[in-house]
Amino acid sequence: MKQWVVAKHPKGLVKHTDFRLAEVPVPIPGDGEVLVKTLYLGVAPVMLRYMTNETSFERPLRIGDVMIGRGVGTVIESNSPAFKKGELIQTKLGWREYSIIKDDPYYMTYKMQSKDLSPSFGVGALGMNGFTALIGMQDICKVKAGDNVLVSGAAGSVGSMAGYVAKALGCGKLVGIAGGAEKCGLLLDKLGYDIALDYKQPGLYEKLDAHFSDGIDVFFDNVGGILLDEVLGRINRRARIAICGRISEYLIPPEEYHRPRNLYRIGLKDAKMEGFFVYDYQEHYAHYELQLAQWIREGKLIPLEDIGHGLDAMPEALISLYNGTNGGTRMVKVAP
């Protein structure tokens, strides 16, 4: 079987040469272990920080280690009472065709319940990214009828679902920010946004003023930096801001992070701003999956998937998140 290992710790943007494809025998599960066949693997901006050992929640990656990543797979063989052959699970499979996992909290394994829906949804809408969109909009921002909602990184995996979740919760005006005309087209034609703003064109902040002359009630932020500061300058009383990510600052040193001028407006406007991490909400995953799956069946959430084919496509899939060529949830189909 094939697996991708780390060949170099990236400097700046991740490159193809930071990975090496290796051929190894399919592993044999020992006592308490489970053999899983990989069906789909997801990619996420945070993976670059796994490779540079910058996160507190992932084990350090050394040169030659199998690249870490979550995906959806089928249990092929189980020597653990916690798993049965044939079960469909989301877990930390790593970038390989077959994996060994254990019944251990490290893997954050989640058993998929919605068997009538595509297993690929386990990477996006019914996986960590869908849960992230729901946590931000529902649990943190508590979107309610009529709220003016803004989403940054709106055409990406989390952002593409955050808009649907806000609409399903009854929001009013829904505005998305994304890079380029094609992605803005996706926001309007496929992702249910009312207004799309291209941050790569001049005049973004004037456009925010024009479209939010009545202020912003909810901001779901994937980007951070100066954009967050500008939005703080436009919030309404009792606004809610979910800090989901800050991709604009993932590749720059801390001394270059934007220093916000408008933080005082949180107090001035009796607003709330909260960061969150999807792994801290594990006890709610089953409930989240049922809710999101129901919205999919009702047509209130139409997952946008951007699927590459074959394990060989993994490095390119990750690189696409940083050059912005993905639309919706970027993933790779490893096996039928």
Ligand X SMILES: NC(=O)c1ccc[n+]([C@@H]2O[C@H](COP(=O)([O-])OP(=O)(O)OC[C@H]3O[C@@H](n4cnc5c(N)ncnc54)[C@H](OP(=O)(O)O)[C@@H]3O)[C@@H](O)[C@H]2O)c1
User: CA–CA separation, 2 vs 103, rounded Å?
Assistant: 24
- For ligand X, which is the closer residue by CB, 46 or 76? 46
Q: With contact defined as beta carbons under 8 Å apart, do 63 and 6 qualify?
A: yes
Provide, rounded to whole angstroms, the least separation between the CB of residue 84 and ligand X. Answer: 29
- Rule CB under 6 A: choose which of 67, 278, 332, 334 binds ligand X: 278
The encoded tokens of residue 84 equal 């049965």
178 binds ligand X (CB under 6 A): yes
223 binds ligand X (CB under 6 A): yes
Contacts of 231 (CB under 8 A, 6+ apart): 150, 208, 216, 219, 221, 241
Cα→Cα distances 13→125, 150, 190, 298, 327, Å: 27, 28, 29, 40, 19
- For ligand X, which is the closer residue by CB, 100 or 186? 186
The encoded tokens of residue 85 equal 């052959």
- For ligand X, which is the closer residue by CB, 205 or 322? 322
Provide, rounded to whole angstroms, the least separation between the CB of residue 288 and ligand X. Answer: 12
* Span from 26-34, 42-50, 82-90, 261-269 in contact with ligand X (CB under 6 A): 42-50
User: CA–CA separation, 164 vs 183, rounded Å?
Assistant: 16
Provide, rounded to whole angstroms, the least separation between the CB of residue 305 and ligand X. Answer: 11
159 binds ligand X (CB under 6 A): yes
Cα→Cα distances 29→104, 248, 318, Å: 15, 41, 29
- Rule CB under 6 A: choose which of 222, 271, 296, 334 binds ligand X: 222
- Rule CB under 6 A: choose which of 69, 71, 153, 308 binds ligand X: 153
Provide, rounded to whole angstroms, the least separation between the CB of residue 178 and ligand X. Answer: 4
